[in-house]
Chains A and B, each alone.
Chain A
Amino acid sequence: MHRLKTPQDLEAWRKVIKQDIDPDRPRLRVCGGTGCRSLGGPQLVDALQRALDGAGQSGQVEVVVTGCQGFCEQGPLVTVAPEEIAYQRVSPENAEAIISETIEAGRVVEELLYADPDNGHRSLRESEIPFYSHQTRRVMVLNGKIDPRRVEDYLASGGYQALSKALVQLEPEGIIEEVIRSGLRGRGGAGFPTGVKWKLCRREPGDIKYVICNADEGDPGAFMDRSLLEANPHSVIEGMIVGARAIGAKEGFIYVRSEYPLAVETLGIALAQARECGLLGRDILGSGFDFDIQLRLGAGAFVCGEETALMASIEGRPGEPRPRPPYPAQSGLWGQPTNINNVKSWASVPLIIANGAEWFAEVGTESSKGTAIFSMVGKINNTGLVEVPMGISLRELVFDVGGGIPGGKAFKAVQIGGPSGGCIPAKHLDTPIDYDSLTNLGAIMGSGGLVITDETTCMVDLARYFMNFVQQESCGQCLPCRWGTQVMLDTLTRICDGQGQPGDIETLERLAKTVKVASLCGLGQTAPNPVLSTLRHFRAEYEAHVYEGRCPAGVCRGLITYEIDPEVCTGCMVCARNCSVGAITGEKKQPHMIDPELCTRCGLCMQVCKFNGVTVH
């Protein structure tokens, strides 16, 4: 690896790398993100390699393991370059066919192409698949295109150009001005203007300052940061170096969840490479600027995503938040001025510096510039990672990009922003997605977790789920959060168990307001949001639980019964054999019965019945 001493060295090396790349050489890009890996990605890579060896093609064809390409639902994904043929749900058994058909004979393996669920139409390339064609990939443009373990790949795609510019052409104030002009707002969820935050930190007196990348992506159902770190770690590192130069920091930290082992590994490799080529360390590219980054692992505490708790954790203490002010910009890590940004904010910085603020701001709305990255999960056909312009409507996102709701079920709501966020019901589907519109509806942009629910999701149960989550994750320092969330959880649990009493809903509302106002940190201050927002949009569902003893979605166990339809039941006995509590009785070839006293409402009988003979009431 080259040790780069000047920006000219960097450009010279980039030129060499680019010259070495033969654009016509066949390449198999296999997605190595967490989703595709757990679907058998590594076995697939081995099988492809074996098939290439067998065909004597291993010297000619390169197998590249990329980071997350985004379309997790269809994994494992393989793209054949240079034709860019997009194969999906590829198993190791398909490896031979890909090599013999596509690589050797130049034919497409039809059955591995994406098929439109509506009309069966097959798409040859990514760009023809609706999931991709409705996206605007900017921050994620290299996801799935490069090998995240090779800094050379990032350089060949224009990487570290922004760094050169920031070190040579721009003064620190100039960098900050550019970021302010771009209109970039914090992608961690709160939406504070990133450049302004940098300016505040730069203005603070003191020689020791820190920058931190918050990669403690704790919102359940969100994996944007993980995917970026897995797919393009150098973009985050580059952003941090540029930011550190602007702010005047010499040390940086990336605080990443330990639940993301692959991201941790990829980051470790990327940091070592950056150090080896002199992009981190002393006198970066001969500019006289010193900066290095340390990796710190979280240990499974959601509250550490809160910036003051995160800093406590880096210092080696329990992740307990403290009141602000002082803000981290004034007194952060070890009492020094500190700037914390989210992974996606840092990854946006190189794009802004390299392409200019105007380029960045040409996408988006008046108050929310650029693109937004979401992980779309739950009751949706195209689970995956998407990047769309700010201001796109929820309808476009859910139905065009996401492909709608599976099983012909009706869309109910999206839950956005995780345990701090809220839900948006069907009647607001045409709302543009930007910071301000979402806040007006009682939700938040959040870090980008988007959970889609359908008619079989109970909103009271969902609110209980989030309350249980924050209750468990409350650090316990302040009473409103520690005890308030407990009482709210108890109340919600009672309602879900069918023990709700008149007044419970009002208790929830009253407590929610207190917890919001009186809690110490963001976790407690936003904890009641899922309850308030489901109450706002789905109050009737709460009332059905409390006053009618009914769960309209058929989810809450205390309020439902399972029955076997004697007309449909064939007496095959599968359900009786599977029932772990022996609640199902009946003779062979005779309709069966469920004893509601014994039944635990686990729903297994419904799952195993091949004749749809079990119904829920």
Chain B
Amino acid sequence: MTYSIIDDARVILAGHTNGESSLLAMLEEVQGRHRYLPRDVLILISERLDIPLSQVYSVATFYNAFSLEPKGCHRFQVCTGTACHVRGAMQVLDRLETQLGIQAGQTSADLEYTLETVNCLGACALGPVVVANGSYSRHMTASQVDRLLRRIKRDA
């Protein structure tokens, strides 16, 4: 699998011509396509930009959007922005953690589920918001988490 990612990464890298200042954009594109940054891609980028691997690593680990570990097939993002927080986002997160058996920031061992928190999606009127595989669920409560999970498991 890694080999196809490497091939794809070569194509992505070729599209960036701003030298060192493209680093962030390169990482963003690889992350966006493959949902994580494999070690071999980081090495490839360091060679291509002629900068130390440590520098690539420092950028890759500084920003929240990047992950060095593969993510699960189903991705849950719980918005924990202030508006969602005062409307009970923590209870929603709690329920997801209990039901999925993983903590926020973790991926299940079978690579099925990833649970994340995001700082604010700017969809504050809908809060608490959970984004499951890119689709927004609004005004979430703990009991609606159960319904959402049932639906996702059924569709899978």
Contacts and interface: CB of A to CB of B under 8 A. Distances in A.
> Are A and B bound to each other?
yes
Interface of A: 34-35, 38-39, 72-73, 75, 217-223, 226-227, 258-260, 296-302, 313-320, 375, 377-379, 383-384, 415, 418, 449, 451, 453, 457, 462, 465-466, 469, 473, 475, 578, 580, 600, 602-604, 607-608
A252 to B, nearest CB: 15
Given A39-B138, A259-B120, A378-B87, A316 B23 contact: yes
B91 A375 contact: no
Interface in B120-156: 120-127, 129, 135-136, 138, 141-143, 146
12 contacts: A72-B126, A75-B125, A259-B119, A300-B64, A319-B63, A377-B124, A378-B83, A383-B124, A415-B82, A578-B143, A603-B91, A604-B143
B144 to A, nearest CB: 9
Instruction: State which size class the interface on B falls in.
Output: 35 or more
A536 B110 CA distance: 49
A315 B123 CA distance: 30
B24 interface: yes
Interface of B: 20-25, 27-28, 58-59, 62-66, 80-83, 85-88, 91, 94-95, 98-99, 118-127, 129, 135-136, 138, 141-143, 146
Contacts of A219: 120
Nearest to B137: A38
Nearest to B144: A607
B142 A603 contact: yes
A578 B99 CA distance: 12
Given A299-B63, A319-B62, 19 more contacts: A72-B126, A218-B119, A219-B120, A222-B122, A258-B28, A258-B65, A297-B28, A300-B118, A314-B21, A316-B22, A318-B59, A378-B124, A462-B85, A462-B86, A578-B146, A604-B91, A604-B142, A607-B141, A607-B143
Contacts of A220: 80-83, 85, 119-120
B99 A383 contact: no
Nearest to B85: A465
The 10 A-B residue pairs whose C-beta atoms are closest, nearest first, are A223-B122, A72-B125, A300-B64, A38-B136, A220-B81, A299-B63, A377-B83, A221-B82, A377-B124, A318-B62
A226 B122 contact: yes
A378 B126 CA distance: 10
A338 to B, nearest CB: 14
A221 B120 contact: yes
A72 B22 contact: no
A298 B27 CA distance: 11
A35 B126 contact: yes
A297 B21 CA distance: 12
A246 to B, nearest CB: 25
Contacts of B58: 318
B59 A602 contact: no
Given A316-B59, A457-B86, A38 B142 contact: no
Nearest to B56: A316
A383 to B, nearest CB: 4
